[in-house]
A = this chain, B = another copy of it.
Amino acid sequence: MISEARLPRPVAQAIDELSKLPSIGPKTASRLVFYLLKQPPAQAEALSAALVSLHARLDYCAVCHTITESNPCAICADEQRDHQQICVVSEPLDCYALEKTGQFRGVYHVLQGEISPVDGIGPENLKIKELIDRVKDSRPSITEIVLATNPTTEGETTAMYLAKILEPYKIRITRIAHGVPVGGDIEYADEITLSNALLHRQQFISQ
């Protein structure tokens, strides 16, 4: 901890604000502040402007609830996408991760979190009602819902909850595959991952 008794107030304030960010402690924060002080003012100003326009210029997509500049978002507005196939994710960043694969041509639904009783997050705090409404209102009707919540306790709980609540709508509900990650080491894979990888083993295509 850096004693703030003698630190000029703007420095202490900037350190204080930066320390509120996850993974940034007071030491890192003070290193960042003194770094910025050594740079031309334009750099701190550009960063400052970018941060303030985050909330000012962004909105949540009225359809899929991802973060967007235009409403509906670019994916929801894209006629080329398959609007009968919805991939359900926890956070906007997950959309970008999945988009990078180029494997999915449907649309998304961002829950904005996962069910986590420990953190007091229940289904009512997520965009689940909105998903159900989307399923109900969709013409032509949804053909598949891919559950792409995280492979964690919270993500699994959320996926399970969704599968149950979506059951009456007779839609094909799928879950992204669990298995050993590419480049990973079987020796170090945990047993649940490994049993999933075994359970869902696939025909290996030889030349």
Binding site for B on A (CB under 8 A): 2-3, 5-11, 13-14, 16-18, 20-24, 28, 30-37, 41, 43-58, 67-69, 74-75, 91-93, 95-97, 99-100
Contact = CB atoms under 8 A, between A and B. Distances in A.
A69 B35 contact: no
Nearest to A97: B2
A118 to B, nearest CB: 17
A18 B37 contact: no
B36 A93 contact: no
A182 to B, nearest CB: 17
B10 A58 contact: yes
Contacts of A52: 44-45, 48
B8 A67 contact: yes
A2 B34 contact: no
A93 B37 contact: no
A24 to B, nearest CB: 8
A34 B8 CA distance: 30
Nearest to A12: B50
Say what secondary structure dominates the interface of chain A.
Answer: helix
A28 B23 contact: yes
B54 A99 contact: no
26 contacts: A2-B100, A3-B99, A6-B75, A6-B95, A8-B69, A10-B53, A11-B58, A14-B50, A14-B54, A21-B32, A21-B36, A23-B28, A23-B31, A23-B32, A34-B91, A36-B51, A36-B54, A37-B54, A37-B67, A37-B92, A44-B51, A44-B55, A45-B55, A47-B51, A48-B48, A48-B52
Nearest to A34: B93
A30 B93 contact: yes
Contacts of A45: 51-52, 55
